[in-house]
Structure 1
Amino acid sequence: MRGLFPGRFQPFHFGHLSVVKWALERVDELVILIGSVNDSHTLLNPFTAGERIEMIRNSLVENEIDLRKIFIIPVSEILISSMWARQVMSLAPKFDVVFTRNPLVITAFKECGIKVIVPPSFNREKFSSTKIRKSMLSDDKTWEELLPDSVRKFIIERDLVSRIREIAKSDKQ
């Protein structure tokens, strides 16, 4: 059986990693679907699809997850949820179940007849990409402890925090 785990992964953090491990206890293979690939260099989506693919892959290798069980695919956004779900079904390797907590994604896949399993929250209050990006905007370094080492190093080595801070500046400054 194969599952699908969709997300933006901006960035990939310990909560995401926990869902991957949890899902792999329930399926033989997992498709990690990177959404919003047509958007980058914004406060909501600061990282490119390629950067997120590298972050995820590096984290899986670091955590000794068998990459033979993983597909990582990028998919563009369609703002009509039911059309997006059908697009995913046509572009992704065939899957039997979707792992998500997102209400829109749950509804879209259920309407397409796909089984949805809601994973545990895995300390969602702490592991939130939105909070991590906000921490990066300030001089608060707490974001570093919320990411797998390989993701933290990737962001630091490529100076991606500076990108986020640059994006946040107003042209009126």
Structure 2
Amino acid sequence: MTARYGMIHGRFQPFHAGHLEYALAALSRCSHLIVGITNPDPSTCVVEPTDPQRHRPGANPFSFFERQWMVRAALVEAGVVPTRCSVVPFPIHHPERWRSYCPPEAVQYVRLFSDWGSEKLQRFQADGWRVEVLNAGAAKRVSGSQVRRKLRTGQNWEACVPPAVAVVLEAIHAEHRLRQAEEE
């Protein structure tokens, strides 16, 4: 049975090939996909014991605007009809706000690559959401931290992101920005 609404979530710092795979897998299971961008506002980032780096400024170099641009560009490039998806901020650390950004009947799609994935699964279930695990047992092939490191060091980061995301990263001068941030 196809769900009416489904949701994926992530920081998408930046949106990489693994994220696109996640989005397309979820979209194949629902009529409308909601992409929730977590840590949308740097002032609301909190320490997460299961992923102690996710709140740090260096792990969150791109704005909400830039990330939603990346997500939309990658999905359109992959052939997704724009009316089949929405991109919203998603305050992952504030469950009391979740229903302001996502319909309560939405299925929450998660992947379990880390303790943080398991923690999200438990939090959504505890809050009464229907949750489905995608790609159970799969290994993570690329991470945002790997892509950011490659951007900073001038390595081949383009192979890690959808071509449309590479265009966005070039437009916002991501390599220069990350190198500059490292020097400060």
Shorter-chain-normalised TM-score: which range? 0.7 to 0.9
SS in 1 for 2:59: coil
Shift in Å, 1:164: 1.1
Please show how residues 141-156 of structure 1 align to structure 2 within 5 Å: 141=156, 143-156=157-170
Please show how residues 41-80 of structure 1 align to structure 2 within 5 Å: 42-76=57-91, 78=93
Partner of residue 173, structure 2: 159
Cα distance change, pair 124–50 in 1 and its aligned pair in 2 (3 A): farther
Tell me if the contact between 1:15 and 1:123 (Cα under 8 Å) persists in the aligned partners: no
Instruction: For 1:59 and 1:129, locate their aligned partners in 2 and report how far apart those are by CA, in whole Å.
Output: 15
Aligned length: 164
Structure 2's unaligned 5+ residue stretches are 44-55, 112-116
How does the TM-score come out when normalised to structure 2? 0.81
Aligned match for 2:22, one of 13, 19, 22? 19
Structure 1's unaligned 5+ residue stretches are 79-83
Partner of residue 81, structure 1: none
Shift in Å, 1:91: 2.7
Partner of residue 145, structure 2: 130
Tell me if the contact between 2:92 and 2:98 (Cα under 8 Å) persists in the aligned partners: no
Cα distance change, pair 56–74 in 1 and its aligned pair in 2 (3 A): same
Instruction: For 1:43 and 1:124, locate their aligned partners in 2 and report how far apart those are by CA, in whole Å.
Output: 24
Instruction: For 1:165 and 1:37, locate their aligned partners in 2 and report how far apart those are by CA, in whole Å.
Output: 22
How does the TM-score come out when normalised to structure 1? 0.86
> What's the C-alpha RMSD, in Å, of the aligned pairs?
2.1
Partner of residue 102, structure 2: 92
Shift in Å, 1:75: 2.9
